[in-house]
């Protein structure tokens, strides 16, 4: 089910209890979770002294407000989106949120499972996300997680092509023409950042042309019951503030404060459905 909203496209996924094909699996030893796609592990925590191994290794160093995550990745990720044709990218007025929703619903390689999800079109990010915090190295990377701000970077799931690769050069022309399809990102809460699910070459092409890639961001949302409890609490708090305000003498200052409270209440309700929920960690296959 797709909920009609004025902002993100909200998906209400049912009949998929999980685990989904693309998922993070909880480590038995309490270590970092590992990313799996189907039966294939894409990530694995390795001993600190190890220099080998096959998938992504996630190792944490430090404590308190600052720590580092050391990652090693392997090729093998399969995109949940089909190959994009040039003609489809040039279709005027295309809503890529709905296209991505359809492909994510149909793919055997994606992360959807029961619950509410959002697909949000995003054209700009905070400074540094597509520069300092865009991981270009392969397979190893170090993510610096800072107190309060987190990492907020973008992690590719395959090696990046050079800017002069044939496919990237074709995408660069689309970037110049304004017809480049967006990059599909997945927000992962415990990484405090995004994984590229599809569009590695498109990201390289846009950056090579001096622009940030347009994106569609997939994120998990709180369950409806949780949202309703939060909405009810917001409404109760608003009613209390309005009741206190009604005790003040009538006048322009009281009306100004009343209008400000109404705007704040509307803004708070409008953002509630789209606050990201934590990325779930699934049990190992033989524990499920």
Alpha helices in 151-223 (DSSP H): 166-177, 200-208
C-alpha 135/C-alpha 231 separation (Å) is 37
pLDDT tens track for 83-110? 999 999 998 878 999 999 999 999 999 9
Check whether 224 has a pLDDT greater than 50: yes
Tell whether pTM > 0.85: no
- Counting Cα atoms < 13 Å in the Cβ hemisphere of 62 gives 13
Q: What is the pLDDT of residue 44?
A: 67
C-alpha 67/C-alpha 186 separation (Å) is 22
Helix H or strand E encompassing 34: strand 34-37
Q: What phi and psi, each to the nearest 5 degrees, are found at residue 186?
A: -120, 120
Q: What is the pLDDT of residue 249?
A: 82
């Amino acid at each position: 089910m797709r909920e009609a909203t004025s902002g993100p496209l909200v998906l209400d996924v049912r009949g998929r209890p999980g685990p989904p094909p693309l998922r993070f699996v909880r480590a038995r030893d309490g270590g970092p979770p590992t990313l799996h796609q189907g039966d294939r592990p894409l990530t694995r925590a390795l001993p600190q002294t190890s220099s080998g191994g096959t998938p992504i290794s996630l190792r944490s160093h430090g404590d308190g407000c600052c720590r580092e995550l050391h990652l090693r990745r392997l090729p093998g990720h399969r995109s949940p989106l089909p190959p994009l044709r040039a003609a489809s990218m040039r279709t005027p007025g295309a809503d890529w949120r709905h296209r991505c929703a359809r492909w994510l619903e149909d793919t055997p390689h994606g992360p959807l499972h029961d619950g509410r999800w959002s697909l949000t079109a995003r054209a700009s990010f905070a400074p540094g996300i597509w520069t300092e915090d865009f991981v270009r190295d392969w397979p190893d990377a170090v993510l610096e997680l800072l107190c309060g701000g987190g990492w907020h970077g973008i992690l590719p799931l395959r090696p990046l092509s050079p800017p002069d690769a044939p496919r990237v050069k074709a995408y660069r022309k689309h970037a110049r023409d304004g017809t480049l399809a967006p990059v599909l990102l997945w927000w992962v809460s415990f990484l405090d950042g995004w994984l590229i699910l599809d569009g590695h070459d498109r990201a390289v092409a846009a950056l090579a042309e001096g622009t940030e890639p347009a994106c569609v961001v997939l994120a998990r949302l709180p369950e409806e019951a949780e949202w309703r409890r939060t909405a009810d609490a917001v409404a109760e708090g608003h009613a209390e503030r309005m009741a206190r305000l009604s005790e003040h003498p009538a006048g322009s200052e009281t009306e100004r404060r009343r209008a400000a409270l109404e705007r704040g209440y509307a803004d708070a309700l409008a953002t509630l459905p789209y606050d990201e929920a934590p990325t779930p960690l699934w049990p190992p296959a033989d524990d499920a």
